[in-house]
């Protein structure tokens, strides 16, 4: 697929601009970069064929989101060739590679204090490696694939596996602290599962049987009874068709003005929900946003116009908040987090869509067939796009004005975001 093909798809479905790839590494202000009118482009500064085809197994996708160590300029990323790679962020050259017995399709977590990287493998293990040289520190066996990001809170490392098991282990030793689980809902779920979220001493987690639970971080005890979102999906179907009842979205927790602390989750067949973080009570639901697999909460603080920007003489920009929901079935949604109402929605071509990553005040996301897109968060206008020829299933990682994205073809891209102040879209 050519860059022209990406531009045509973007123009017809996402009102996009055509694009070209340019080498470059220009730095621009991080917040806010796009002001009231979005403009800018994507520049590829490094490209690296990562996945070894001789060792690659399984489906033809790469699902592992990179993890960035901005202080030491390192990128950690897994591959379907069973390896976890540590790369230099400037040119994507290899520092080390660690081999596991299964595909590495998880997002690693870097522990700056210990200089250790944690990651999961399809061989059922959660690994801790020394980030400097890739030496194994410990391995914790879960018995099922580990494909979601582990979370650090104090001395606890919290993660989940594909069998609906939630674990808390000691981050230094790998010793089990506690675990929680529900019986998997065989035959009712799609491929994939949720990861945990930690917030204010609680762990939020969603299950394949459609329940969402909250647990005490210290001992795993329930903080509120699991909320059954599957009942809504069954009610919507009227018993006339098989419905996927699972909740595959990792919960997102945020403060919503006028509402309080809220947990956002999505049932594949039931829609998107906001639950009270303290009690689990429903705050609102949107039953039109079906097939959602990822949620992202976005905020932009109120700010005056940039003195060199195109709107320098205009009014101050108010604070903005948005909940983004990614769905291969219904597209990319922007919702008001206070009530779940649609702000805008962009339908997509055939194929899936990743969660958007927030970079330089904009959104960058991949599509499984039509490349990587840069989008304005306030109105969904596409700013630029780059095509890898194989698409993206792995969510991009971003820091400052840099983006790192692993294509389905096993190529890792380093991309800079440029936001010229004088340009209007």
Confidence tier at 238 by pLDDT (50, 70, 90): low
* H or E element at residue 224: strand 222-228
Q: Which of 64-68, 78-82, 119-123, 358-362 has the lowest mean pLDDT?
A: 358-362
pLDDT exceeds cutoff 50 at 317: yes
| Phi, psi of 129, rounded to the nearest 5 degrees | -125, 150
Instruction: Please enumerate, as own/partner, the contacts of 304-313 that have beta carbons within 8 Å and a separation of 24 or more.
Output: 305/35, 305/36, 306/29, 306/32, 306/35, 306/421, 308/421, 308/422, 309/35, 309/421, 310/35, 310/37, 310/421, 310/422, 310/423, 310/424, 311/35, 311/36, 311/37
Segment 301-322 shows an average pLDDT of: 78
Helix/strand/coil for 140: strand
Tell me the per-residue pLDDT of 246-266, one tens digit each, with 9 for 90 and over: 788 999 999 999 999 999 999
**Residues 75, 379: Cα–Cα separation, whole Å:** 31
Segment 181-206 shows an average pLDDT of: 80
Which tokens go with 358? 């927030």
For residues 17 and 45, the answer to whether their CB atoms sit within 8 Å is: no
pLDDT exceeds cutoff 50 at 26: no
- Whether residue 58 is preceded by a cis peptide bond, meaning omega within 30 degrees of 0, is no
Confidence tier at 18 by pLDDT (50, 70, 90): very low
pLDDT of residue 45: 94
pLDDT of residue 22: 34
Could you give the C-alpha distances from 408 to 25, 382, 412, in angstroms and in order? 24, 22, 9
The model's pTM is 0.87
**Tokens 């990792």 sit at which residue?**
250
Instruction: Say what percent of the chain tops pLDDT 90.
Output: 63
pLDDT of residue 182: 85
pLDDT of residue 25: 34
pLDDT exceeds cutoff 90 at 30: no
**Residues 155, 205: Cα–Cα separation, whole Å:** 19
Structure-model confidence comparison of residues 60 and 202, the more confident one: 202
Q: In the chain, how many H helices and how many E strands?
A: 2, 32
Confidence tier at 51 by pLDDT (50, 70, 90): confident
For residues 357 and 396, the answer to whether their CB atoms sit within 8 Å is: yes
pLDDT exceeds cutoff 90 at 19: no
Instruction: List the chain domain ranges.
Output: 1-63+250-425
Segment 42-59 shows an average pLDDT of: 81
What does pLDDT average to over the chain? 85
Q: Domain 1-63+250-425: which topology? A: Lipocalin (2.40.128)
Q: Which of 56-60, 93-97, 128-132, 416-420 has the lowest mean pLDDT?
A: 56-60
**Tokens 């990562």 sit at which residue?**
50
pLDDT of residue 102: 95
Segment 121-138 shows an average pLDDT of: 98
pLDDT exceeds cutoff 80 at 308: no
Confidence tier at 184 by pLDDT (50, 70, 90): low
């Amino acid at each position: 697929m050519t860059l022209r093909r990406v531009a045509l798809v973007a123009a017809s479905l996402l009102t996009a601009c055509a694009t070209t790839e340019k080498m470059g590494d220009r730095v621009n202000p991080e917040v806010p970069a796009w002001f009231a009118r979005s403009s800018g482009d994507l520049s590829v500064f490094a490209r690296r064929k990562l996945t070894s085809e001789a060792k690659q197994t399984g489906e033809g996708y790469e699902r592992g989101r990179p993890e960035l160590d901005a202080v030491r300029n390192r990128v950690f990323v897994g591959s379907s060739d069973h390896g976890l790679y540590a790369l230099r962020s400037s040119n994507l050259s290899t520092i080390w590679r660690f081999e596991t017995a299964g595909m590495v399709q998880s997002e690693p977590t870097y522990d700056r204090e210990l200089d250790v990287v944690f990651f999961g493998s399809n061989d059922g293990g959660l690994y801790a490696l020394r980030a400097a040289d890739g030496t194994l520190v410990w391995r914790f066996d879960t018995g099922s694939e580990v494909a979601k990001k582990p979370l650090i809170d104090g001395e606890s490392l919290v993660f989940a596996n594909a069998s609906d098991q939630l674990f808390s282990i000691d981050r230094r030793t790998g010793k089990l602290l506690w675990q929680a689980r529900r019986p998997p809902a065989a035959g009712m779920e799609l491929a994939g599962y949720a990861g945990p979220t930690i917030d204010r001493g609680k762990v939020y987690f969603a299950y394949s049987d459609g329940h969402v639970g909250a647990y005490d971080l210290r001992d795993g005890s329930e903080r509120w009874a699991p909320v059954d979102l599957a009942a809504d999906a069954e009610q919507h179907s009227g018993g006339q068709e098989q419905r996927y009842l699972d909740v595959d979205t990792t919960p997102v927790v945020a403060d919503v003005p006028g509402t309080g602390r809220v947990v956002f989750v999505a049932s594949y067949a039931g829609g998107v929900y906001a639950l009270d973080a303290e009690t689990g009570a429903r705050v609102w639901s949107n039953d039109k946003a079906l097939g959602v697999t990822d949620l992202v909460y976005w905020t932009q603080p109120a700010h005056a116009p940039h003195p060199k920007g195109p709107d320098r003489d205009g009014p101050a920009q108010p604070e903005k908040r948005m909940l983004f929901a990614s769905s291969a079935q219904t597209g990319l949604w922007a919702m008001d987090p206070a009530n779940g109402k649609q702000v805008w929605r962009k339908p997509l071509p055939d194929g899936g869509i990743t969660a958007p990553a927030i970079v330089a005040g904009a959104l960058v996301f991949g599509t499984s067939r039509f490349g990587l897109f840069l989008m304005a968060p306030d109105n969904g206008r596409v700013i630029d796009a780059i095509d890898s020829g194989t698409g993206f299933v792995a969510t991009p990682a971003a820091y400052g004005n840099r983006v790192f994205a692993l294509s389905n073809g096993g190529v890792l891209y380093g991309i800079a975001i440029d936001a010229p102040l004088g340009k209007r879209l």
